[in-house]
Amino acid sequence: MLSRLSSAGINRSLGIFERSLFKNIARTGINTRTETQRYIQGIEKQKRRMHIQSIPMWEGTSNNYAYLVVDEGSRDAVIVDPASAGEVAPVLKDQIKDGKINLVAIVNTHHHWDHAGGNNKILADPEFKGKPVIGGKDCEGVTKTPKNGEGFTIGEINVKALYTPCHTQDSICWFMEDKSGKAIFTGDTLFHGGCGRFFEGTAEEMHTALNKTLAAVPDDTVVYPGHEYTKANVKFAVSVSQSEAVKALEAFADKNKETQGKFTIGDEKKHNVFMRMDDPEIQKATGKTDAVEVMARLREMKNNFKEPMAKF
């Protein structure tokens, strides 16, 4: 699991450091306006960071997430998968009204209606008219589709498109990085403890997406999936693996309603059975040893999985 300092905690620490440094400047006689300005600029730069706000949608049914990603330095922002316009637009408007964000684009992970289906409704609002839609070629209202590996910037945040076709052929995972950290928005390709169904692709494509493309992302990258499916995913996971990592995920899911952004790619490599094709325990459960065959069988088992009834 990822442990992160809050913005308030960071600011308190910087404040203490700031007062201490000013005392040292006074002692050494370095008190020029230029030096002070440089110092203040340095402090402000340290305070800037990528801020991610989760916006739950259709809670209790499909349990989707939209994500507002903000570069706190420039206040430039994008909204990822704002499918439920009625739930997302008010959040955006409040942030704009308060001067907290400058919305520069809508970003989609894939074309399914519960991820891209709110684009046109949002764009119909005069507040958002003309904003670009960045995503796969089949996404609603799309205006720009980067090539695999291409990207753009949100202030000081670097964004890269990672093609992960399988759930849909236009599935894109969005890797974002600035000086404060790394994040990836995986839509319905990768969930905490699971993966999406192979609606438009094959087991080989999902194996490539998870265990080659996403596995190559730095381990400390925080994962933001498109749905809150962790509890259901881990119930299946414990049926094929009794590893300590899977048990730890089960315990966390039992205690937490929301799990988005709480785990990294490194964590997924440990507790996500769909990213452990070489695990002897999972190979035994599937009766396969070839990675693609393990993936195919594992997905079939998950599709047909029924939670064991409680014993009284």
Cβ–Cβ < 8 Å for 67, 79: yes
| 271 is a catalytic site residue | no
| 112 is a catalytic site residue | yes
Which residue matches tokens 């600035």? Answer: 178
Active-site residue, selected from the candidate residues 76, 188, 267, 271? 188
Sign of the dihedral defined by the CA atoms of residues 94, 100, 103, 107, in that order: negative
Cβ–Cβ < 8 Å for 226, 188: yes
Active-site residue, selected from the candidate residues 81, 114, 170, 178? 114
Active-site residue, selected from the candidate residues 170, 227, 267, 271? 227
Active-site residue, selected from the candidate residues 115, 192, 207, 271? 115
Active-site residue, selected from the candidate residues 111, 112, 207, 271? 112
Kindly tell me the number of DSSP H helices and DSSP E strands found in the chain: 11, 12
| 115 is a catalytic site residue | yes
| 111 is a catalytic site residue | no
| 51 is a catalytic site residue | no
> What b-and-e string marks burial along 210-226, b requiring 16 or more CB atoms within 10 Å of the CB?
bbebbeebeeebbbbbb
Residue 220, by phi and psi: left (phi above 0), alpha (psi -120 to 50) or beta?
alpha
Cβ–Cβ < 8 Å for 157, 177: yes
Pairing of strands 172-178, 157-163: antiparallel
Single-letter code of the amino acid located at 25: I
Among 121, 125, 134, residue whose Cα is nearest residue 78: 134
Active-site residue, selected from the candidate residues 71, 110, 111, 178? 110
d(CA 108, CA 53): 16
Rg of the Cα trace of the chain? Answer: 22
What does the DSSP assignment read for 78-89? EEE----HHHHH
CA distances to 11, 193, 235, 261, 282 from 302, rounded to whole Å, are 45, 12, 10, 23, 13
Residues acting as catalytic residues = 110, 112, 114-115, 167, 188, 227
